[in-house]
Amino acid sequence: MYENLLKTVTNLGSPKVLVVGDFMLDVYVYGDAVRISPEAPVPVLKVAKTEYRCGGAGSVADNLAALGATAYCLGVIGDDPNGVILKDKLTKAGVDITGLFEAANRPTVSKQRLIGLAQHLHRQQLIRIDEESAEPLSGELRQRILRAYEQKLCEVDVVCLQDHNKGLLSDSLCRRMIELAAKANKKVLVDPSPTSDYSKYLGATAITPNRNESSAAVGFEITDAQTAARAADDLLHRLKLQAVVITLDKEGAYLKTQDAGKIIPTRARSVYDVTGAGDMVLATLATSLAAGCDYETAVQLSNIAGGIEVEKFGAATVTAEEIADEIARRNGGSNSKVRAVDSLVHELERRRRQKKTIVFTNGCFDVLHRGHVEYLGFCRQHGDIVVVGLNSDSSVKTIKGPERPINNQLDRSIVLAALEMVDYISIFDEPDPLNLIKKVKPDVLVKGEDWAEKGVVGREFVESYGGEVALARLVEGRSSTATIDKMKSLEAKP
């Protein structure tokens, strides 16, 4: 499963996603709450900074862009300063905003949160101030949106309907959009509004309500896997969907399709703020499904993305790189640094896309000592990612003799993995690392200065594409052989 998830998230590509819904501006006003007002028993907030983020459907579009997708917006904002700020934020994120229509008679939906900073550190939301209009759109504006929808539908891979019940996705418009998408053979994913009537979502592809929203829609409380299964089955058949994804907080998500139903678990998290978690789930599902994923894989990735998001404050984006890092950390705990060659090469391709400098070195690292630590520290100084090629037990015997290594390759790799300056370890069998170097293709190749005259294996290859070879100064008198000889001499003394 690990390899499949990692391969999927690093090959999502740039699917085109149309986001239709209620675009909002989230405003965070941070300040020090240091005293109580003499006018009323409320804290006085001394403003330190104001931060703007994309909210609602804007948050979905922002998340899609962070995942590498191409997001197209379709919705209504006000002809006001908040609308200008929202458009600027979306444009800077790389989102297409040509489908955002300005309405002079309604404000841009905004949610302003006043955040007190206790002792300048701990954030505590004091109050939220909403500015909005939930009035239905005019007939003319509805027609403009529908025409824009029809024009854009043929260009995109999937449609997201993000419904906050702010007047855009009326019953008739929502049904028409789903009908047109079905005719165009496009998937429609719905994040529903908090209502008990889901009939306007009839015929969509999938729906992603949370526990409370699902409970309201089916008329009973979802408390466990059994009630989640009942609710998902009800929604699937009543709305004629392909899939239902009910998000269940720390329990993960319940996935129901025509063929099966199951809980997709997630890792327990230290939840900091649930704002925007549903937007992140919808964006990840859309990107994954558009890239050709099956529903189970898409939900697994959405769980991970949503879990990362709730550990951040406010509506925050999550990148594909963050998801991949999380997947790697989950695989084998401390052994996640130890990679087979194919897995390592795949991981380094992802790191290069992040513009990271790859440093490679190799050795037996049999009995770890100060010299090793300073040597690996030298490697870290020359780049962002340090890869260690570790000689296998058979390779060490070939080089050092039949009594070596003292520690087997598993023990040696685990000790190396515990060092902060080492990012990845790959074990190789050959006497020299040339084949591994050719696969890693490092930006910097590091060896000890004692190799200057002997000739650094891989130098010609690395320098052939503009790579660098760096020689590290050795700590005098520190080596595994010297350490082992000293131990032997002590053992020999009476």
Of the candidates 40, 49, 21, 163, the one whose C-alpha atom is nearest the C-alpha of residue 113 is 49
Report the largest interatomic distance among the alpha carbons of the chain, rounded to a whole angstrom: 100
Instruction: Measure the CA–CA gap between 124 and 118, rounded to whole angstroms.
Output: 7
Residues in CB range of 207: below 8 A, 6 or more apart: 189, 190, 191, 192, 198, 201, 235, 239, 241, 243, 244, 245
Of the residues 22, 279, 366, 423, only one is catalytic, namely 279
Element (H, E) at 424: strand 424-428
279 part of the active site: yes
Residues in CB range of 165: below 8 A, 6 or more apart: 22, 134, 193, 194, 195
Is-contact 86 25, C-beta < 8 A? yes
The residue with tokens 């594409």 is 465
Instruction: Measure the CA–CA gap between 20 and 186, rounded to whole angstroms.
Output: 14
Cis bond leading into 405, ω under 30°?
A: yes
The residue with tokens 């000689």 is 391
Instruction: Give the pairing of strands 158-162 and 16-21.
Output: parallel
Instruction: Measure the CA–CA gap between 313 and 77, rounded to whole angstroms.
Output: 25
Integer CA distances (angstroms), 215 to 228, 232, 251, 406, 465, in order? 9, 10, 16, 61, 60
Q: Which residues are catalytic?
A: 279
